[in-house]
C-alpha cells in the first residue's frame, strides 16, 4: 500500500457548466464544449475573464474514431479563447473526464497554475450504432477480451449474472435503479431523457402525452419493463432500460488555488480528496462482483480527505449499466458487499432517501457522452452543494459529496470528494 499523499496546495471549484446532453447531429465536440463553457461562465459568481485561465485539461475518449479528429485539446482551447495556454487531452476510456479533473488538481497543487479549466467532451451519435459499440469496445482489451466477442453490454452482463448468482439479486432490483435514475433525470433540464419510465410507458400506451395523467401502479411499470417488445434484452440479464444511452455532450469546471477562490466566489467547493487506480482485464480478476480499481481509488480519496463513506451525503456514481451503480455503491463503502442491490427498491438511494445516488439522473438518464461524464458528475455536485439543483435539490444540509467515474470494465477508476464549508 503506498503511503498517504497530500496535495501540496489546496484546490477549489469556483465554476461549473455543461451543454445539453442528447443527440445533436449538427454539433461537433467543439460546439458542445463552447456551449458548456458559456454555461460555466454564467456560473462564476464574480464573473470570469477567460484571460485568467492558465491551462486546459480535456477528457475525451476517442474523438479519433468518433469524429476523425485527434489533437482535440488545442482546438478546444482556441475555440474558447485560451490560445496560447497549454491544452492537454487525457484519455482513460469512460473515466477520461474524471482523470482530466485529477490532472487539473495536480497542475494547481504542483504550482504550475493557479487557475485551470477542466473539460470533457464527446460527440458519439455521428456514427452508426454498431460502429459506436465497436468504438466503445476498444476500451476493452483487444488482445484478450474483444477477440472473445465481448462488447460492453456483454462485460457488464457478465458482472450482473455473477452478482445475481452470488447474492440472489433479481432483474427487478435493477429495474428499480433504472426507475429511480429516470425519476431524477426527468427533473434535470440538461438530461437526455426528460421523462420518467412511467411517462415513457404511458406515452407508449396512449400514444399522446397527457397532462395530469394518473401515476401508474408499480405492477404496471414492472409489466412494461418485463415486456420484451418495450424493453428488449440486450445481454442477459441486462435489458434496454438497464443501459445508458449514446450521447453527445460536454461539461467543464473551473479550478483555482484555494487561496484565490475568493476572487471568483464566496461559495466555492473545496476538492479534498482524489484517488485513481487501474486493474487488469476481466479475465484476470479474483471477483466479478466488485471493482478493485474503484475500491482502491476510493480508499486513496478517503484517506486524503480524512473522511469515510458515512460522511458522504450524496454521490454521483458511474451507472453505465444499472448493475454498475449497485456495484459502485458497495465499492465506495456505502453499503456492505451483496446488500447494495436492494437500496433503490427500499428508497435509500432516492433523492429524499438516506443516501441519494445520481440525483442528476446518472449516466442512465442524463446521458453518457463518455469523455464528458466524469466532469458532468462534478457539475451536479456543484449544483447540489450550492443549493442550486432546483426541482431535484436534495433536502437538508448537503456539505460533502463524491464522484465515481469508471473506464472500461474497471480498468480505470477515479474518485473525487468535494466539500462545501459553512
Q: Residue 283, interface with a second copy (CB under 8 A)?
A: no
Whichever of 331 and 345 has its CB closer to a second copy, that residue is 331
Size of the site for a second copy (CB under 8 A): 75
Q: Closer to a second copy by CB, 143 or 336: give it.
A: 143
- Rounded to 5 degrees, what are φ and ψ at 116? -130, 135
Verify binding: residue 98, a second copy, rule CB under 8 A: no
DSSP type of residue 124:
-
Residue 336 C-beta: closest distance to a second copy, Å: 22
In the annotation, is 94 catalytic? yes
Q: Is there binding between residue 118 and a second copy (CB under 8 A)?
A: no
- Please report how close the Cβ of residue 98 comes to a second copy at its closest, in angstroms: 11
Closest separation in Å from C-beta 38 to a second copy:
19
Looking up cell 482524489, which residue turns up? 274
For the segment 307-346, give every residue that binds a second copy (CB under 8 A): none
If one asks whether residue 280 binds a second copy (CB under 8 A), the answer comes out as yes
Catalytic entry in 75, 94, 173, 243 = 94
Q: Site for a second copy (CB under 8 A): which residue of 34, 48, 90, 375?
A: 90
CA distance 37 to 44: 11
Contact region for a second copy (CB under 8 A) — 152-160, 271-279, 325-333, 383-391?
271-279
Taking the C-alpha atoms of residue 76 and residue 86, their distance in angstroms, rounded to an integer, is 11
Q: 69-74 — which CB contacts under 8 Å span 24+ positions?
A: 69/28, 69/29, 72/29, 72/121
Determine if 142 is a binding residue for a second copy (CB under 8 A).
Answer: yes
Which grid coordinates are listed for 332? Answer: 465506495
| Binding letters toward a second copy, positions 377-416, x by CB under 8 A | ------------------------------xx--xx-x--
* 3-class DSSP assignment, residue 178: helix
Q: Let me know if 68 is a catalytic residue.
A: no
Cα separation, 344 vs 415, whole angstroms: 22
- According to the binding rule CB under 8 A, does residue 150 interact with a second copy? no
Task: Work out whether 419 is an interface residue with a second copy (CB under 8 A).
Answer: no
Using alpha carbons, select from 300, 352, 343 the residue that is nearest to residue 325: 343
Q: If residue 300 lies in a helix (H) or strand (E), which one and from where to where?
A: helix 292-305
Per-residue interface string for the shown chain with a second copy, residues 4-33, x marking contact by CB under 8 A: -xxxxx------------------x-x---
Residues constituting the chain: 422
* Spatial distance between the Cα atoms of 6 and 223, rounded to a whole number of angstroms: 51
Of 362, 383, 360, 260, give the one whose Cα is nearest residue 317.
362
Member of 177, 293, 314, 324 binding a second copy (CB under 8 A)? 293
Looking at 35, 242, 248, 279, which residue binds a second copy (CB under 8 A)? 279
Does 138 participate in binding a second copy (rule CB under 8 A)?
A: yes
Catalytic residue among 75, 182, 270, 368: 368
Residue 360 as a binder of a second copy (CB under 8 A): the answer is: no
Of 57 and 163, the one with the shorter C-beta distance to a second copy is 57
**Spatial separation of the C-alpha atoms in residues 282 and 162, rounded to whole Å:** 12
Q: Which of 233, 278, 393, 399 binds a second copy (CB under 8 A)?
A: 278
* β-bridge partners, 248: 22
3-state secondary structure of 277: strand
**CB under 8 A: which stretch of 58-66, 168-176, 198-206, 310-318 binds a second copy?**
58-66
Nearest approach, Cβ of residue 30 and a second copy (Å): 7
Q: Which 65-84 positions form the footprint of a second copy (CB under 8 A)?
A: 65, 67-75, 77-78, 82-84
152 closest CA partner among 243, 53, 17, 32:
243
| Residue among 260 and 267 whose Cβ is closer to a second copy | 260
The CB-of-211 to a second copy minimum distance in angstroms stands at 43
| Strand, coil or helix: 249 | strand
Count of other CB atoms within 10 angstroms of residue 164: 18
3-state DSSP assignment of residue 105: helix
Asked if 290 interacts with a second copy (CB under 8 A), we say: no
- Phi, psi angles (nearest 5°) of residue 234: -95, -50
Among 110, 205, 215, 217, binds a second copy (CB under 8 A): 110
Does 148 interact with a second copy (rule: CB under 8 A)? Answer: no
- Which CB sits closer to a second copy, 293 or 376? 293
Which of 375, 365, 358 minimizes the C-alpha distance to 251? Answer: 375
Q: How far is the CB of 376 from a second copy (least distance, A)?
A: 19
Q: Kindly list the distances between the CA atom of residue 344 and the CA atoms of 93, 181, 182, 291, 322, in Å, as whole numbers in the listed order.
A: 27, 9, 12, 20, 10
Distances from the Cα of 319 to the Cα of 104, 295, 316, angstroms: 24, 16, 9
Catalytic residues: 94, 368
Amino acid at each position: 500500500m503506498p503511503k498517504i499523499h497530500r496535495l501540496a496546495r489546496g484546490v477549489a471549484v469556483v465554476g461549473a457548466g455543461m451543454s445539453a446532453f442528447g443527440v445533436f447531429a449538427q454539433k461537433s465536440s467543439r460546439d458542445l464544449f463552447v456551449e458548456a463553457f458559456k454555461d460555466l461562465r454564467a456560473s462564476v459568481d464574480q464573473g470570469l475573464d477567460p484571460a485568467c485561465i492558465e491551462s486546459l485539461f480535456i477528457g475525451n475518449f476517442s474523438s479519433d474514431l468518433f469524429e476523425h479528429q485527434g489533437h482535440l485539446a488545442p482546438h478546444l482551447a482556441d475555440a474558447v479563447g485560451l490560445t496560447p495556454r497549454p491544452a492537454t487531452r487525457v484519455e482513460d476510456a469512460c473515466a477520461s473526464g474524471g482523470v482530466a479533473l485529477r490532472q487539473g488538481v495536480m497542475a494547481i497543487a504542483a504550482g504550475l497554475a493557479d487557475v485551470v479549466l477542466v473539460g470533457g467532451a464527446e460527440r458519439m451519435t455521428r456514427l452508426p450504432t454498431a460502429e459506436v459499440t465497436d468504438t466503445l469496445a476498444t476500451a476493452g482489451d483487444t488482445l484478450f477480451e474483444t477477440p472473445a466477442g465481448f462488447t460492453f453490454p456483454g462485460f457488464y452482463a457478465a458482472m450482473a449474472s455473477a452478482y445475481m448468482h452470488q447474492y440472489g439479486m433479481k432483474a427487478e432490483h435493477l429495474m428499480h435503479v433504472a426507475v429511480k435514475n429516470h425519476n431524477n433525470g426527468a427533473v434535470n433540464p440538461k438530461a437526455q431523457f426528460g421523462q420518467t419510465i412511467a411517462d415513457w410507458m404511458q406515452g407508449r400506451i396512449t400514444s399522446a402525452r397527457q397532462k395530469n395523467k394518473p401515476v401508474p401502479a408499480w405492477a404496471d411499470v414492472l409489466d412494461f419493463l418485463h415486456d420484451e417488445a418495450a424493453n428488449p434484452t440486450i445481454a442477459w440479464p441486462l435489458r434496454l432500460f438497464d443501459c445508458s444511452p449514446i450521447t453527445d455532450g460536454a461539461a467543464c469546471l473551473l479550478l483555482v488555488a484555494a487561496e484565490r477562490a475568493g476572487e471568483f466566489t464566496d461559495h466555492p467547493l473545496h476538492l479534498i480528496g482524489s484517488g485513481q487506480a487501474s486493474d487488469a482485464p476481466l479475465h484476470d480478476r479474483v471477483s466479478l462482483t466488485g471493482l478493485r480499481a474503484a475500491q482502491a481509488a476510493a480508499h486513496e480519496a478517503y484517506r486524503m480527505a480524512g473522511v469515510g463513506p458515512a460522511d458522504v451525503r450524496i454521490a454521483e456514481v458511474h451507472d453505465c449499466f444499472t448493475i454498475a451503480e449497485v456495484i459502485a455503491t458497495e465499492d465506495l463503502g456505502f453499503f456492505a458487499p451483496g446488500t447494495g442491490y436492494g437500496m433503490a427498491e427500499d428508497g435509500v438511494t432516492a433523492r429524499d432517501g438516506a443516501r441519494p445516488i445520481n440525483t442528476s439522473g446518472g449516466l442512465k438518464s442524463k446521458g453518457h457522452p463518455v469523455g464528458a461524464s466524469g466532469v458532468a458528475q462534478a457539475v451536479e455536485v456543484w449544483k447540489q452543494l450550492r443549493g442550486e439543483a432546483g426541482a431535484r435539490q436534495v433536502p437538508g444540509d448537503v456539505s460533502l459529496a463524491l464522484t465515481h467515474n469508471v473506464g472500461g470494465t474497471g480498468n480505470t477508476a477515479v474518485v473525487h470528494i468535494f466539500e462545501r464549508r459553512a
